[in-house]
Amino acid sequence: MLRICCVVGARPNFVKIAPILRAFEQACRPDIAVKLVHTGQHYDPGLSDLFFTDLEIRSPDLHLGVGSGTHGEQTARVLSAAERMFLTERPDLVLVVGDVNSTLASALAAAKLLIPVAHVEAGLRSRDRTMPEELNRIVTDNLSDLCFTHCLEASENLLREGVEPERIWFVGNVMIDSLLRYRSNARRPEGLDGLPLTERAYAVLTLHRPSNVDQREDALTVLRAIEPVLAEMPIVFPMHPRSRTKFEQHGLGGMISGLGRLHLTDPLGYLGFLYLMDHARLVMTDSGGIQEETTVLGVPCLTLRTSTERPITIRQGTNRLVGLDRDAIAVALDDVLADRWPRGQIPSLWDGQTAGRIASVILDDWASTLESR
C-alpha cells in the first residue's frame, strides 16, 4: 500500500489540490491510500469552506487547526503539528502545493522524518527575497524529491540551483485544470445584484500582499493608483479579511467610501470569482495565480507588484507589471480601452490534464523506482 498525504492550508492550495485528488481517485488503484490534510492556515469560511464546496473537494481526513499568526508563529505551529501527524500516519509520500507557510512547514517536517516530498508548482522565482513566498518556494524545492513544474522556465530555474534533473518533472499548470473544468459552471455571485457588472465594463481588484496593505502609506498609494481606472469604470473589490482589517486599522474607511465606484464585497467562492474575472474588462491584482488565470481567460491583468514569479504570463499571456505607479496604470488602462492589449496565448501543457500527469508520475514512475530500491 502506497500511503500519500496531500497537505493544503490556504485558498490557492485548494484550487490546485482539487484536480490532483480527482486524478488519484480516477486511477482506481486499490494499492494506494490518499489522505487530505488541512493545516487550517486559512480558516475563514470565505477562504476555505466556500472553496471546498465549489471545487467539490471532500472533507479533510485530518485538520490541524493552526490558525493565523506571524510568519514565524504560523510556520512553527504547522511544523510541530505536521510532525506529530506524520509520525502517526507514516505516509510514504507527502505532497504539497504552492508557496504558503503550510507548504514550507509540511515539507520540512516530512524531510526531517525522511519522508519523500513532492512539490507541485516548483521552480517559480521572482528574485525578490522580500516576499515570504519566495523563501518558502526556495526551501521547499530544495527539500523535495519530486519537483513538478508548470513551465520549462521553472525547470531551468531548478537546474541552475543544482536540483538534479531526475527530480524535475515538467507537467503543466494544475490550477488551469480547475479553471477549465469549472469555467462553464461559473455564475454571477449572489449578493452582488446591485453592482454595475455589465460585461466588459468593470474591473476587478484583489489585494493581500503585506507590501501593499500592511503599511498605511502603501495602502493609501494603492487607492490613489487605481483612481484612473475608477474614472473609466467601476471596480469590484472582494476584500481578503486580512486586507479589510489592515485598511480599517489605517483609518482609510472614509477614503474608500468616498471612491463611489469602488465596490467592496466579502470574499467570494471559486465559482463566483471566476465569473467576475471572466467577464471583466481588466483585473488588477497582487496575486500570483490570478496572473495565470487571466492569461487563460484572455483578460488584461495589471499586476500591482514590481516583480513576478510567473514571467511567462507577461511574455506569452495578458499580464503586465505596473507596481503602484499611477502613471503606469494610466498608460496600461489606455492600452486596454484602445484595444491595444496583447491577445496572448496559452502556455504549453496548460491544457487541463496536468493532474493526470502528476498522478501518473507518482503512481508509475516514482512508485516503480521506490519498489526497486
Whether the predicted pLDDT of 62 surpasses 80: yes
How does residue 260 score in pLDDT terms, banded at 50, 70 and 90?
Answer: confident
Whether the predicted pLDDT of 370 surpasses 70: no
pLDDT in tens, 300-330: 999 999 999 999 999 999 999 999 999 999 9
- Do 114 and 138 contact (CB within 8 A), yes or no? no
> Other C-beta atoms within 10 Å of 211: how many?
15
CA-wise closest residue to 294 among 315, 268, 313, 310: 313
What positions carry a catalytic annotation?
Answer: 208
Would you say the pTM of this structure is higher than 0.85? yes
Whether the predicted pLDDT of 356 surpasses 60: yes
CA-wise closest residue to 16 among 45, 40, 31, 36: 36
Whether the predicted pLDDT of 45 surpasses 60: no
Burial class of residue 324 in the structure, from the number of CB atoms within 10 Å of its CB (0-12 exposed, 13-18 middle, 19+ buried) = buried
- Do 301 and 333 contact (CB within 8 A), yes or no? no
pLDDT in tens, 111-157: 999 999 999 999 999 999 999 999 999 999 999 999 999 999 999 99
CA-wise closest residue to 180 among 353, 359, 358, 360: 353
pLDDT in tens, 201-242: 999 999 988 889 999 999 999 999 999 999 999 999 998 888
C-alpha cell read off for 108: 520540512
**Averaged confidence pLDDT in the chain:** 93
How does residue 54 score in pLDDT terms, banded at 50, 70 and 90?
Answer: very high
Domains and CATH numbers, the chain: 2-173+350-372 (3.40.50.2000), 190-337 (3.40.50.2000)
Kindly write down the DSSP assignment for every residue of 95-158, as one continuous string.
EEESSSHHHHHHHHHHHHTT--EEEEEET---S-TTSHHHHHHHHHHHH-SEEEESSHHHHHHH
